[in-house]
C-alpha cells in the first residue's frame, strides 16, 4: 500500500464534520473559518516510541494518547477542542496496526467533536506528532501567568497512577492484580479534562495540565506568575493502588510522575465556593492541595510540618 492509499483508506473516513472547516483532508492545506469573537488556541505534541510510550503499547492506546495529550493542553487553556492534524512516522505499513491506531484517534475525536483536517505520513522510527486547535471566547483563555500570592491550588482527579503503571511495566515495582488494570489504563488511555477546563475558565486565575509531574508543572505557574507555593501532602489525591504499592513513597511518585494529564489550577478565595460548586455539579473530582505565597519557591508540608521531598520531574533532555 502506498502513502496516499493509506491516507484515503484510514484517515479520511470520520464522523465529525465541523462547520468551521471549509476545506479538509486532500489539499495542500486545510481551510478554517473561525467564528467571530473567538480566539484559536494551538498546541503541538510529539510522542516517540520508547520515550512517551512503551514499545509494546497497543496501537489503539497510542492513537488515543496522541490525541488526548493535545486535548489536555487545550483543556488547560479552557478551550473547546475543534480540529487536529497528525504527522505519523511508521517503520513500515502494517494495515492492522494502522487500523487499530485510527480507532483510538477517531474514538476520542468523535467523543469531543474534533475533526481531523490533515497531516503527513513518512517512513522511519515510530513517532506521532499532533497539532490540535481549539476555540476560546476572546480574552478568556487561562494562562500560566495569572496566579497571585494567597490563592488556592487545586488538581482534578487522582495523580501518579500513570507513573506507577510505568514502574510496574519496567519491573521496578509490582502492582497488585486488583489495581493493575486501572493504573495501566491511566497510562495508556488518559482522559483529557476538557469539560473541567471550560468550567474553571470562569473561576481560575492560572492553569496547566500535568504532563511532566505536578511539581515540575506547578513550577511553570510559579515562574510565569512570580509566586511561590506550598503543597499539603496530606491532601494529595492518591488512588488505593498507589498507596498499597508505594506506601510512604506514594507522595513522592505522585508529585514527580508524569503522564497524569489532570488539570492543576489556582483560584482566588472569592471564586473558591463557586468553582467547587460548579465542578461538583458536573461530577468532576477535584482536591485543594495547597496555596500560593510570595516565597518564590515550592515547599511541602505533612501534618502541618515542613518536609523535604525529592522533586525532580520528567526532563526531555538530561545530561
Radius of gyration of the chain (CA): 20
- The answer on whether 209 is annotated among ligand-binding residues is yes
Q: Which residues pair with 265 in a beta bridge?
A: 154, 207
- The answer on whether 144 is annotated among ligand-binding residues is yes
- The answer on whether 119 is annotated among ligand-binding residues is yes
Q: Which residues pair with 299 in a beta bridge?
A: 230
Q: Which residues pair with 116 in a beta bridge?
A: 84
- The answer on whether 268 is annotated among ligand-binding residues is no
Give the integer Cα–Cα distance in Å for 261 and 162.
Answer: 9
- The answer on whether 211 is annotated among ligand-binding residues is yes
| Neighbour-count burial of 48, counting CB atoms closer than 10 A to its CB (0-12 exposed, 13-18 middle, 19+ buried) | middle
Confirm if 312 and 256 have CB atoms less than 8 A apart: yes
Place of cell 482534578: 156
Contacts of 100 (CB under 8 A, 6+ apart): 58, 59, 60, 63
Q: 240-260 in b/e burial notation, b at 16+ Cβ within 10 A?
A: ebbeebbeeebbbbbbbbbbb
- The answer on whether 27 is annotated among ligand-binding residues is no
Give the integer Cα–Cα distance in Å for 25 and 137.
Answer: 27
Contacts of 286 (CB under 8 A, 6+ apart): 154, 155, 156, 157, 196, 276, 279
Confirm if 190 and 113 have CB atoms less than 8 A apart: no
- The answer on whether 45 is annotated among ligand-binding residues is yes
Q: Which residues pair with 306 in a beta bridge?
A: 301
Q: Nine-digit cell at 98?
A: 494502522
| Sign, Cα dihedral of 168, 171, 172, 177 | positive
- The answer on whether 212 is annotated among ligand-binding residues is yes
Contacts of 169 (CB under 8 A, 6+ apart): 54, 184, 187
Which residues participate in the annotated binding site for substrate?
52, 259, 314
Which residues participate in the annotated binding site for ATP?
119-120, 144, 211
Which residues participate in the annotated binding site for Mg(2+)?
28, 43-45, 73, 120, 209, 212
Which residues participate in the annotated binding site?
28, 43-45, 52, 73, 119-120, 144, 209, 211-212, 259, 314
Amino acid at each position: 500500500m502506498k502513502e496516499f492509499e493509506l491516507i484515503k483508506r484510514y484517515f479520511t473516513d470520520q464522523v465529525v464534520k465541523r462547520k468551521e472547516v471549509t476545506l479538509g483532508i486532500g489539499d495542500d492545506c486545510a481551510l478554517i473559518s473561525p467564528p467571530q469573537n473567538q480566539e484559536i488556541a494551538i498546541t503541538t505534541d510529539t510522542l516517540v516510541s520508547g520515550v512517551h510510550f512503551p514499545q509494546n503499547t497497543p496501537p489503539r492506546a497510542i492513537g488515543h494518547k496522541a490525541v488526548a495529550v493535545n486535548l489536555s493542553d487545550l483543556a488547560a487553556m479552557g478551550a473547546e477542542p475543534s480540529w487536529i492534524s497528525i504527522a505519523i512516522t511508521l517503520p513500515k505499513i502494517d494495515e492492522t496496526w494502522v487500523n487499530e491506531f485510527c480507532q483510538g484517534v477517531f474514538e476520542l475525536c468523535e467523543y469531543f467533536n474534533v475533526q481531523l483536517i490533515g497531516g503527513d505520513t513518512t517512513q522511519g522510527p515510530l513517532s506521532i506528532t499532533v497539532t490540535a486547535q481549539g476555540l476560546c471566547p476572546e480574552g478568556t483563555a487561562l494562562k500560566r501567568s495569572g496566579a497571585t500570592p494567597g490563592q488556592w491550588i487545586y488538581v482534578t482527579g487522582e495523580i501518579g497512577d500513570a507513573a506507577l503503571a510505568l514502574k510496574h511495566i519496567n519491573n521496578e515495582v509490582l502492582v497488585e492484580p486488583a489495581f493493575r488494570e486501572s493504573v495501566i489504563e491511566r497510562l495508556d488511555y488518559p482522559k483529557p479534562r476538557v469539560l473541567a477546563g471550560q468550567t474553571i475558565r470562569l473561576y481560575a486565575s492560572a492553569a496547566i495540565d500535568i504532563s511532566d509531574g505536578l511539581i515540575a508543572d506547578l513550577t511553570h505557574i510559579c515562574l510565569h506568575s512570580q509566586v511561590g507555593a506550598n503543597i499539603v501532602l496530606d491532601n494529595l489525591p492518591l488512588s488505593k493502588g498507589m498507596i498499597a504499592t508505594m506506601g510512604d513513597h506514594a507522595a513522592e511518585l505522585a508529585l514527580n510522575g508524569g503522564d497524569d494529564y489532570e488539570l492543576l489550577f489556582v483560584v482566588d478565595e472569592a471564586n473558591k465556593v463557586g468553582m467547587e460548586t460548579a465542578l461538583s455539579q458536573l461530577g468532576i473530582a477535584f482536591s485543594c492541595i495547597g496555596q500560593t505565597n510570595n516565597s518564590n519557591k515550592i515547599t511541602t508540608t505533612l501534618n502541618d510540618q515542613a518536609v523535604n521531598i525529592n522533586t525532580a520531574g520528567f526532563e526531555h533532555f538530561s545530561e
